[in-house]
Structure 1
Amino acid sequence: MKKSIELVTYRLAFLFMTMMASVYSFAQDATNVTVEKTAKTTTTEQWYTEPWVWIVGGALLFILLLGAILGGGSRSRSTSDTRVHRTTITRQDDVYDA
């Protein structure tokens, strides 16, 4: 019983503190505020709408692809030292006379 009374007391205290916080925050708002509106237009463009961005990006992509094609093929051809030798070994027991 004592714990439930403490729980109710804590809940009421929390409720009171939140109500006071909201009253305090509403008290900060000014009621007589005058706002002057001025007509100001700004135009903002995204970076990817500029044509030079696409040209530079295409050139970089071309260089990367060219380097991957020309540089990647020479490495596989230079490794001619690896050779595969296959030897077939048959045991005497595996050979059947027909």
Structure 2
Amino acid sequence: MKTNNQLKSLSIFQKAILSLVATLSIFLASVKSFAQSVPEKVEVDVNTGGDAVWYGQPWVWVVGVALFIVIIIAITRNNNSRA
């Protein structure tokens, strides 16, 4: 076995590093699997006051986009009176 001969030729320091890396890899794999477990169901209500902020209202966005389009049209249209 080539792998067995390679392990025999390693120094003590290299074997210690190899075993440390293997142990750390197994530990990190178990931590990863533990982190993926399903936690208990937690419900959080971020809107505690009941009042939404002004920029969260859809009509504000509609008015803002319409105003933006009107401003862009006014700036970019060809005005022949200045020519």
TM-score norm. by structure 2 comes to 0.37
Structure exhibiting the larger radius of gyration computed from Cα positions: 1
Between Structure 1 and Structure 2, the one with more helix by share is: 2
TM-score norm. by structure 1 comes to 0.32
* Structure with the larger RCO, 1 or 2 (CA within 8 Å, 6+ apart): 2
